[in-house]
């Protein structure tokens, strides 16, 4: 697994086009963050994702696909992104990658417990859920909207964000560099700016 400028380890089994998609998505996130943290986008990504391992396919994706009955990518346990073998054929594959990277970001942000907040809670997605008026409970990858008011629910292409509070956070993260209008409400983008995209 070669190491790139973000200090990620990328599976050698990805083809060059897939690696380009991953790095292009990271570059677009970096440019977006530069607009919030002038010339600190790269530093922010390094700080919050360094050590991420990105795998092509694997047993976890096969198990998840069997359960979900469709091709599936996931993050397990903390900083390992398991991308579906042909994720580049998905609709908006760069955004798909950033969704998974969003789970890594939440796992690396300050949290209430040592366990993974994308599974057991205590992290940024809980804070976002409460900010929007919900009450996060249950396993955070299958807990629905957890009381987030209807006005803040996802519609259209982002509706997967209603699947779970961890996915709500990751889905919002993935849209920020591309289309703020796709977010359920401008308050979501503002929350990320004041609560996540900061430099301590």
Supply the pTM of this predicted model: 0.96
Q: Does 112 map to a domain?
A: yes
Average pLDDT, the chain: 96
Q: Does 163 map to a domain?
A: yes
Name the residue range of residue 185's domain: 9-195
Q: Does 124 map to a domain?
A: yes
Confidence of residue 180 (pLDDT cuts 50, 70, 90): very high
Task: Count up the domains in the chain and report the number.
Answer: 1
For the chain, the straight-line distance linking the first and the last C-alpha, in angstroms and rounded, comes to 31
Q: What is the mean pLDDT of residues 127-138?
A: 98
Tell me: pLDDT of 3 over 70: no
Tell me: pLDDT of 1 over 80: no
Summarised one tens digit per residue, pLDDT across range 47-87 is 999 999 999 999 999 999 999 999 999 999 999 999 999 99
How many Cα neighbours within 13 Å face the side chain of 117?
26
Burial class for 35, CB neighbours closer than 10 Å (0-12, 13-18, 19+):
exposed
Q: How far from 105 is each of 149, 181, 183, CA to CA, in Å?
A: 25, 22, 19
Q: Strand pairing partners for 75?
A: 81
Q: Does 23 map to a domain?
A: yes
Q: Does 87 map to a domain?
A: yes
Cis amide leading into 105 (omega within 30): no
Crossing angle of helices 165-175 and 124-131, rounded to 10°: 90
87: domain CATH number?
Answer: 3.40.390
Q: Does 3 map to a domain?
A: no
Q: Does 56 map to a domain?
A: yes
Q: How far from 59 is each of 1, 73, 198, CA to CA, in Å?
A: 18, 11, 36
């Amino acid at each position: 697994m070669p190491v790139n400028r973000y200090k990620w380890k990328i599976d050698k089994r990805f083809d060059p086009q897939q690696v380009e998609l991953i790095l292009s998505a990271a570059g677009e996130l970096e440019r977006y963050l530069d607009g919030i943290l002038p010339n600190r986008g790269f530093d922010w990504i390094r700080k919050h994702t360094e050590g991420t391992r990105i795998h092509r396919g694997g047993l976890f994706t096969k198990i998840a696909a069997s359960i979900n009955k469709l091709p599936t990518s996931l993050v397990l346990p903390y900083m390992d992104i398991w991308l579906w073998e042909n994720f580049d054929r998905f609709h908006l594959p760069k955004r798909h990658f950033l969704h998974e990277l969003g789970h890594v970001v939440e796992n690396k942000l300050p949290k209430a417990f040592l366990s993974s907040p994308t599974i057991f809670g205590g992290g940024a997605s809980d804070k976002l859920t409460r900010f929007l008026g919900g009450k996060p409970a249950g396993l955070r990858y299958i807990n629905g909207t957890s009381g987030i008011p209807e006005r803040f629910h996802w519609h259209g292409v982002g509706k997967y964000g209603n699947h779970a509070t961890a996915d709500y956070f990751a889905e919002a993260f993935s849209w920020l560099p591309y289309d703020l209008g796709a977010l359920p409400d401008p308050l979501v983008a503002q929350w990320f700016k004041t609560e996540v995209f900061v430099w301590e």
